[in-house]
Amino acid sequence: MEFRHTPVLLNEVIEGLAIRADGVYADGTAGGGGHSEEIAKRLSEKGRLVCIDRDEEAVRAVTERLAPYGDRVSVLRGNYEDMAVLLSGLGIAAADGILLDLGVSSVQLDEAERGFSYRYDAPLDMRMDVRDEKTAADIVNTYSEKELSRILRDYGEERFASSIARRITQERLKEPIRTTFQLAEIIKASIPARMRETGGHPAKRSFQAIRIEVNRELEILEDSIGGLIDLLSPGGRLAVISFHSLEDRIVKTAMKSAQDPCICPKDFPVCVCGRKPKGRMITRKAITASQEELTENNRAHSAKLRVFEHL
């Protein structure tokens, strides 16, 4: 399957990054290369774009897609949490713009063998990087009922998290839960019949939650935002597209903290903590898709873009 999808908030991202033709840019979640290609188009021969993704298929696809741009583009397999090291390996100390699109590719969801989707019967995997050790099956079969309930509630906003976690731990005593269909049926049976007809497939939220846990998505995001801001050149910008309320909250909090890092009590007349602002939030409120884009691209419905400019 061709690793491509329609990039969300494309025009807004390009405007937010304020691309300079001879600048250095990094796409930390290159995916199918949609955003990356638009950045590459705007670079001169002196410009540089580094595309990073932890999915082997994405790396292969974006390498092929951006081949016409030659030495302007470098494609690396890795995680954006290691961006400083990855850029350093290319002799790059700072970037004029960094982009993160935190959405899951439709290709990852639609490839049955990847185990991301409840729509296909496949081994429970859900790893974005197959080199990682922990799979969805490991989580479902080894986490305690309390841990499972927390993940389903916090990451999936699943109102029946306790019931689902209880049934999972009961069913795995009979036999290991190894496939997506096994898990989907267990989840479905855990939800009252009258509630199964609303809000889409009954397993949707639980599968999302387990995927987030498998790939440490929120943990990596929370640990990385500050470092990515520090990687920016003066005037450089960080643009982040999130699709989940918890993701957006992490991004918003980190950017606000970078803009106003002072921890002095509010009644202090002057700052004594010595913490200086790293820049400013370009987006006072998150940017969302236009009605036109929503009509053309269903994936854009939950997308939120926030942009931060380094001092």
Longest dimension (CA), the chain: 65
Q: In whole angstroms, give the CA distance from residue 75 to residue 27.
A: 10
Instruction: Using DSSP, state whether 108 is helix, strand or coil.
Output: helix
Distances (CA, A) of 199 to 103, 173, 203, 205: 20, 30, 10, 9
Give the span between the Cα atoms of 85 and 220, in whole angstroms. Answer: 15
Fold that domain 10-106+217-310 belongs to in CATH: Rossmann fold (3.40.50)
Query: Residue type for 115, please?
Result: G
Parse the chain into domains and list their residue ranges. Answer: 10-106+217-310, 133-214
Token pair in block for residue 197: 């007809």
Q: Classify 308 as helix, strand or coil.
A: strand
Q: Is-contact 9 289, C-beta < 8 A?
A: yes
Chunked mean pLDDT (size 10), the chain, 311 residues:
74 98 98 95 98 94 96 97 98 98 76 83 94 97 98 95 98 97 96 76 93 96 97 98 95 97 88 92 96 91 97 91
Secondary element (H or E) of residue 195: none
CATH of region 133-214, choose from 2.40.160.20, 1.20.1250.20, 1.10.287.3510, 1.10.150.170: 1.10.150.170
Distance between CA atoms of 157 and 32, rounded to whole angstroms?
A: 28
Q: Are 246 and 153 in contact (CB under 8 A)?
A: no
Please check whether residue 3 is in contact with residue 32, taking contact to mean a CB–CB distance below 8 angstroms.
yes
Tokens of 136: 């969805």
pLDDT for 5 equals: 67
User: Both tokens of residue 294?
Assistant: 């929503």
Q: Cβ–Cβ contacts within 10 Å for residue 249, how many?
A: 13
Spatial CA neighbour of 250 closest among 102, 49, 148, 96: 102
